[in-house]
A = this chain, B = another copy of it.
């Protein structure tokens, strides 16, 4: 019998409790022993909840109980999550977490402490919710040099882009609707500005490099500038606009970026719609692969957390190697990366061509007071130089 403690009893915490209860028999079989929740740390009480008697408010009860072999952190944020996880590892307890902010800031250190103590620090649910991506990256793509990882990693923004595409809505209207439905938070900044996706691609890139990628160094654009008119142009070209979080090998460095991108129908991510997420991986031997599923939601995310718990129980006494050194990676300059650009500007075709060189213009009914065009492939630096010469309305990169 493995005894565990849940830190945080919100949506994911309650989901983990449900997964462990509903699938108790099959989980015990795969883990080799039963798994029991001994404590739940939360500031609140949960009267009437099936686990109400397990709720404690003082972490030291958990930290000091030698019976607890796994701490499952689902509080979010850096503190006190970091202090609690570190304390757990130093007290001989393995840790599973769904907390991307914690993982990208302190993952390398916590993995190191886990390794030194023959424990485990696992975090499958921190990226892509229910989509198995971290474990496949670490255990299935070991014979490949991963040349690209590109994900639709944020459910809120993918839902919004999908609804704008399906219904022709403006950004502000769909944001209000998403907030009303509970798909977007009251303060949606982290989602719509791309910060959430940015932390997730920083984690994936760190795992690909085996070294620390700081998310603050990743160029990050959100979806707030995308309008119904942009969507109309995309449709006219047979493309969809998605918020992509991407990193790719350029020479000997990885370049990482979060931004809206126009995808053609033949791209595997083109059909990842609504609240679904997916991660596209290109290996130098494997070629293209994609992992698809629910990027959020209580039970899918809890399923990933619970799979980490099972893995930890199966590996009691041994460390599952995760290559992630604290040494920092130097990322490539995103301005050196080449894209074709979709551009809308207040300009004439002659002016646009003078600035950008050869362009392909796009016309849609009812839009006459601007020019829209696609450039040839050019670096970010070259784009900026050309764009400075025109009155730009919006720009979206193309795949």
Contact = CB atoms under 8 A, between A and B. Distances in A.
A15 B310 CA distance: 34
A268 B271 CA distance: 8
A323 B131 CA distance: 22
Contact of A323 (B15, B29, B136, B304): B29
Contact of A292 (B290, B299, B323): B290
A179 interface: no
24 contacts: A19-B144, A22-B284, A23-B145, A23-B284, A27-B142, A30-B142, A32-B321, A124-B140, A131-B289, A132-B289, A135-B135, A135-B139, A139-B139, A140-B304, A142-B306, A268-B271, A285-B299, A285-B300, A285-B306, A286-B293, A286-B300, A286-B303, A287-B297, A288-B294
A286 B294 contact: yes
The 8 closest A-B pairs by CB, nearest first: A143-B306, A132-B140, A289-B293, A285-B303, A290-B292, A142-B310, A286-B303, A30-B142
Interface in A111-167: 124, 130-132, 135-136, 139-145
A26 interface: yes
Interface of A: 15, 18-20, 22-23, 26-27, 29-32, 124, 130-132, 135-136, 139-145, 210, 268, 270-271, 276, 283-294, 297, 299-300, 302-307, 309-311, 314, 318, 321, 323
A299 B291 CA distance: 19
From A292, A305, A309, name the one whose CB has the most chain B CB atoms within 10 angstroms.
A292
A53 B259 CA distance: 51
Nearest to A273: B266
Contacts of A22: 284-285
Given A19-B285, A23-B143, 19 more contacts: A19-B144, A22-B284, A22-B285, A26-B144, A27-B142, A29-B323, A132-B289, A135-B136, A141-B307, A143-B310, A268-B271, A283-B303, A285-B299, A285-B300, A286-B299, A286-B300, A287-B299, A287-B300, A289-B294
| Chain A residues touching B, majority SS | mixed
A294 B323 CA distance: 26
A284 B26 CA distance: 12
Contacts of A135: 135-136, 139-140
A284 B25 CA distance: 14
A271 B306 CA distance: 31
A23 B141 contact: no
A170 to B, nearest CB: 25
A24 to B, nearest CB: 10
Given A30-B323, A140-B135, A142-B27, A268 B292 contact: yes
Contact of A289 (B130, B210, B286, B310): B130
